[in-house]
Structures are given as C-alpha cells and as structure tokens.
Amino acid sequence: MSRETLFGLPEEAFHFTVPRKGLITKTEIRVLSLSRLDLAPGLHLWDIGAGSGSVGIEAARLVPTLTVTAIEKDQEDFDCLIKNVSTFGLEERIRTIHGKAPEKLPRDPRPDRVFIGGTGGRLADLLDLSQELLPPDGKVVINLATFENISEVLDWTRDKGISPEIWQIQTGRGKTILGLHRIEAMNPVVIISFSPKKPETP
C-alpha cells in the first residue's frame, strides 16, 4: 500500500470485501467523482453507502480541513470502513455510522457536499434530503450502474427543474497474458452531478 500517493489511491490501499460484493469505488471513477464534488477547506461531506470508505477517505486526505460523515449499512463493509479510517489516521475528521440512510444520518453538521455510492433502495429519499439540507452552492455526485437507478435520478431532477451533468465512464486496464499485453474492460459507471435548486423567494 502506498500512503504517499496524494490522489488516486489504488484499490489495494484499502480493506474491502472480496468477492462477496467488492464494495469499493474503482480508482478511475473515484478520481472523476471527487473532481465533480468541488471540495474546499472547511466543508462537510456526506459519503452515503460508503462501503470501504475510499471516497470519503481520499476526500479527507485531499482537503485537510474537510470533515466527513460516512454511513454504511452492511456490517462486513462497515468493519472495512473502520479499518481504513484508522489506517489513514482520519478518526478525528471522518465520523463513521453503521446504519441505513437516510434514517441514521445526523442533521448536524449539515452537508455541503453529498456523494452517493449506494442507495439501499432509498434513492429518491436521499435526493429529497440532500435537496433540503444542502446550501444553494452545494453539490450532489452519484455513481450509478443500473438503468433503473439512472432513470430514477433523471426523473427526480426533471421534476425538480434541475439540469444535471452526466458522464458515462468505461475504462480498461492493461493485463499481461502469455507475455503479451491486452486491455481488460471494467464495468461502465454513470456519474450524475447537480446542485440543488432552491425555491425562489418572493
């Protein structure tokens, strides 16, 4: 594990569940997702469906005064999250919660940025809560892998009058086979990002 890498830590730098789920945001997707969060000193980030915690941990390492609330409902993945936060010495800036969002999410401090890596089937509820609590210049970034969840997010943003930014990312990594090299494709991920639209005041 290389703890000296500032940005784009390899998956091997983290504890995560294999092969049951492998809940870790791949390095390439993590880098792009973090860039869309537009992080800044003093902000508070929600990492929802944190899995191994790679997004929140990398965010905290990039911005030394950033604080994070990372929530994960699965016990095995939560155990990995705890180990990773400890490994990187971020216990004072990353609050870890074992439970389901949005019920177990604390409202204090309010988030400035929201990353959604897992929804637990409560995607619309998470989006409603983010819309309610984020400041006007806040950001939501969501990683999605299924058509159903993509459709749900787009329907939600349409209903709210929000025009999201959308990226479809598919990368490949070099792999050797019989002394030769080929590219092994990774599963595609859709990244959707938007700022909340607040009601206009009269």
pLDDT over 70 (residue 93): yes
Q: How high is the pLDDT of residue 157?
A: 96
Q: Is residue 199 part of a domain?
A: no
Domain contains 5: no
Query: Would you say residue 3 lies in a domain?
Result: no
Instruction: Give the model confidence (pLDDT) of 156-186 as tens digits.
Output: 999 999 999 999 998 888 999 988 999 988 8
Pairing of strands 172-177, 180-185: antiparallel
Residue 60: which H helix or E strand, with range?
helix 54-62
Looking up residue 146, the CATH number of its domain turns out to be 3.40.50.150
* pLDDT tens digits for range 56-83: 999 999 998 999 999 999 999 999 999 9
Domain residues for the domain of 123 are: 11-194
In a domain, 73, yes or no: yes
Structural contact between residues 176 and 140, judged by C-beta atoms closer than 8 angstroms? no
Q: Does any domain span residue 120?
A: yes
Query: In whole angstroms, what is the distance from residue 153 CA to residue 5 CA?
Result: 33
Instruction: Write 128-134 long-range contacts (CB < 8 A, 24+).
Output: 129/102, 129/105, 130/46, 130/196, 131/160, 131/196, 131/197, 133/107, 134/110, 134/195, 134/196
Confidence of residue 200 (pLDDT cuts 50, 70, 90): low
Between 127 and 23, name the one with better pLDDT.
127
Per the domain annotation, does 200 fall within a domain?
A: no
Quote the pLDDT of residue 1. 45
Rounded Cα gap, residues 101 and 78, in angstroms: 13
- Determine the pLDDT at residue 16: 82
Work out how many domains the chain is built from and give that number. 1
Supply the pLDDT for residue 60: 96
Confidence of residue 152 (pLDDT cuts 50, 70, 90): very high
Q: What pLDDT is recorded for position 15?
A: 81
Contacts for 58 with CB less than 8 Å, ≥ 6 apart: 7, 8, 9, 30, 34
Within a domain: 173: yes
Residue 20: pLDDT band with limits 50, 70, 90: low
Among 99-103, 151-155, 182-186, name the one with the lowest average pLDDT: 182-186
Contact 69/43 with Cβ under 8 angstroms?
Answer: no
- Strands 139-144, 172-177: parallel, antiparallel or unpaired by DSSP? unpaired
The answer to whether residue 201 is domain-embedded is no
Strand pairing class (94-98; 113-116): unpaired
pLDDT at 196 over 70: yes
